[in-house]
Amino acid sequence: MEKQGVSGPKPRFLLGNIMDMASLVEKSTSQDMDTISHNVVGRLLPHFVVWSKLYGKRFIYWNGIEPRMCLTETELIKELLSKYNSISGKSWLQQQGSKHFIGKGLLMANSDDWYHQRRIIAPAFMGDKLKSYAGYMVECTKQMLQSLESAVKEGQTEFEIGEHMTRLTSDIISRTEFDRNYEKGKQIFHLLTLLQQLCAKASKNLCFPGSRCSLSNGLFCSDRVTSVQHYPSQIENNFLILKWIILVEATDPTVNPPMGVSCTAFNSLLSMVINESLRLYPPATVLPRMAFDDIRLGDLHIPKGLSIWIPVLAIHHSEEIWGKDVNEFNPDRFASKSFAPGRHFIPFAAGPRNCIGQSFALMEAKIILAMLISKFSFTISDNYRHAPVIVLTIKPKYGVQICLKSLNP
């Protein structure tokens, strides 16, 4: 790659640049942010900021034994995700790092195995099936709102809304994906969450071919269970985005109760707020793809075995793309279609391997947000500490504390 003008920081034996990244992130996230600012790239991806200044838009770093090329050019990213899906995918290292909670599920599968699983799961997220979930979403949200209302009546004013969103989105997925077997769904979800926690611990171990990982394999085998192994991380995406939406709305209210506004106008305002929150805080901050064959990408020759690392968070915060107010919460930028979904705006990835649960997630976020706004006004609490961190996805380190006021006391 050096011959093509792509270079990067010097790697160490076996560790690559992992230690450099770890120390930069440790330093940048050691303290809370002074204000509720959405200028978070320097905090969450400090290595990207440092290396792109030193080596340019394209650079190579080593994630242990795996070379990764950072790519920020959105035309090339679109081409990679849409055109080269069949000869790119998840690397061995990625699969090892997450196999104990994602297993051989869709999220980590490649080639024929990916195609087979995607075909099995896709119908659960399409058309009438998807519409049929709306009732469950409304029912679960009503229950949550009732419990919040009771708490407000009893005098509670401040809530860590993240906890409520976590429970609510888990309830919804249990009901929709495990049919009416709600308790069983909850039980499986709980076990998968425990596995995820173990995996987060295990992922701190270094993995390279021939090394042994500490957890046993083969916990799940049937297609149905294999296909739902991605739920903890994906449900997490769902409740995380709701936390960030509520945070930005509580700090900078944009949506008012739908009184005197047409359904269409209210609906598009909700979409704009959700999109803008996904732009500022995309749960999947980076998208990695390994080339399984040589790939020609614009002027670049990507050799087989090189991983491409797409820094979604940095693209979503690029001043060049979004303008001077890039770090402001400004839902209006989504009022027109000029924001180029699938290119500049990629919270759900793009191409044939995009997020299968995208419509589900957006429908759910809209229903919850609309119902919450109709019942309560909310503002950010003085106890909220702005300290976004990445633990697999972007999280508010200390939760989201808000003050709720009932609109119909």
Q: In whole angstroms, what is the distance from residue 35 CA to residue 57 CA?
A: 29
Residue closest to ligand HEM, measured at CB? 357
Instruction: For strands 307-310 and 66-70, give the pairing.
Output: parallel
For ligand HEM, give the closer residue by CB, 161 or 403: 161
178 binds ligand HEM (CB under 6 A): no
Amino acid at position 60, single letter: I
d(CA 116, CA 106): 9
Q: Does 101 bind ligand HEM (CB under 6 A)?
A: no
Q: Check binding of 348 to ligand HEM (CB under 6 A).
A: yes
238 touching ligand HEM, by CB under 6 A = yes
Size of the site for ligand HEM (CB under 6 A): 22
Per CB under 6 A, 353 contacts ligand HEM: yes
Candidates 277, 226, 263; CA nearest to 374 is 263
Choose which of 230, 317, 366, 395 interacts with ligand HEM (CB under 6 A).
230
281 lies in the site for ligand HEM, by CB under 6 A: no
- Beta-bridge partners for 59: 70
Query: Nearest to residue 271, comparing CAs of 205, 332, 357, 345?
Result: 332
Q: Does 172 bind ligand HEM (CB under 6 A)?
A: no
Answer yes or no: are the C-beta atoms of 405 and 381 closer than 8 Å: no
Are the beta carbons of 352 and 85 closer than 8 angstroms?
yes
Taking alpha carbons only, the member of 263, 282, 261, 281 closest to residue 366 is 263
The answer to the question of whether 355 is labelled as a binding residue is: yes
Backbone angles phi, psi at 30, to 5 degrees: -70, -20
Question: What phi, psi does 403 have (nearest 5°)?
Answer: -105, 125
Is 283 among the residues that bind ligand HEM (CB under 6 A)? yes
Q: Is 396 in the site for ligand HEM (CB under 6 A)?
A: no
One of 360, 376, 378, 384 touching ligand HEM (CB under 6 A): 360
Nearer to ligand HEM, 287 or 313 (CB): 287
* Candidate segments 204-212, 294-302, 332-340, 347-355, binder of ligand HEM by CB under 6 A: 347-355
Query: Residue 393 carries which DSSP code?
Result: E
Q: How far is the CB of 88 from ligand HEM (least distance, A)?
A: 10
Packing angle, helices 161-177 and 127-153, rounded to 10: 150
Sole binder of ligand HEM in the list 60, 106, 148, 295 (CB under 6 A): 106
The answer to whether 185 and 175 are in contact (CB under 8 A) is yes
Sign, CA torsion 362/364/366/369: negative
DSSP for 334-373?
A: GSSGGG-BTTTB-TT--GGGS-TTHHHHHHHHHHHHHHHH
Is 357 a binding residue for ligand HEM by CB under 6 A? The answer is: yes
Among 202, 270, 284, 402, binds ligand HEM (CB under 6 A): 284
Piece of 57-65, 141-149, 156-164, 280-288 that binds ligand HEM (CB under 6 A): 280-288
Of 80, 255, 287, 373, which lies in the binding site for ligand HEM, with binding defined by CB under 6 A? 287
Instruction: Indicate the residue among 240 and 300 with the shorter CB distance to ligand HEM.
Output: 240
From the list 6-14, 201-209, 300-308, 341-349, the region that binds ligand HEM by CB under 6 A is 341-349
User: Judged by CB, which is closer to ligand HEM: 9, or 283?
Assistant: 283
The binder of ligand HEM chosen from 290, 356, 368, 404 (CB under 6 A)? 356
The conformation of residue 9, written as its DSSP 8-state character, comes to: P
Could you write out the three-class secondary structure of 221-250?
CCHHHHHCCCHHHHHHHHHHHHHHHHHHHH
**How far apart are alpha carbons 68 and 59 in whole angstroms?**
8
Cβ proximity to ligand HEM: between 246 and 284 the closer is 284
What's the closest the beta carbon of residue 94 comes to ligand HEM, in angstroms?
8
- Under rule CB under 6 A, residue 313 binds ligand HEM: no
Residue 355 makes contact with ligand HEM by CB under 6 A: yes
Assess 349 for contact with ligand HEM (CB under 6 A). Answer: yes
Residues 301 and 32: beta-carbon distance below 8 Å? no
Structure tokens at 95: 């699969």
- Residues that constitute the known binding site for heme: 355
Residues contributing to the site for ligand HEM (CB under 6 A): 106-107, 118, 173, 230-231, 234, 237-238, 241, 283-284, 287, 347-349, 353, 355-357, 360-361
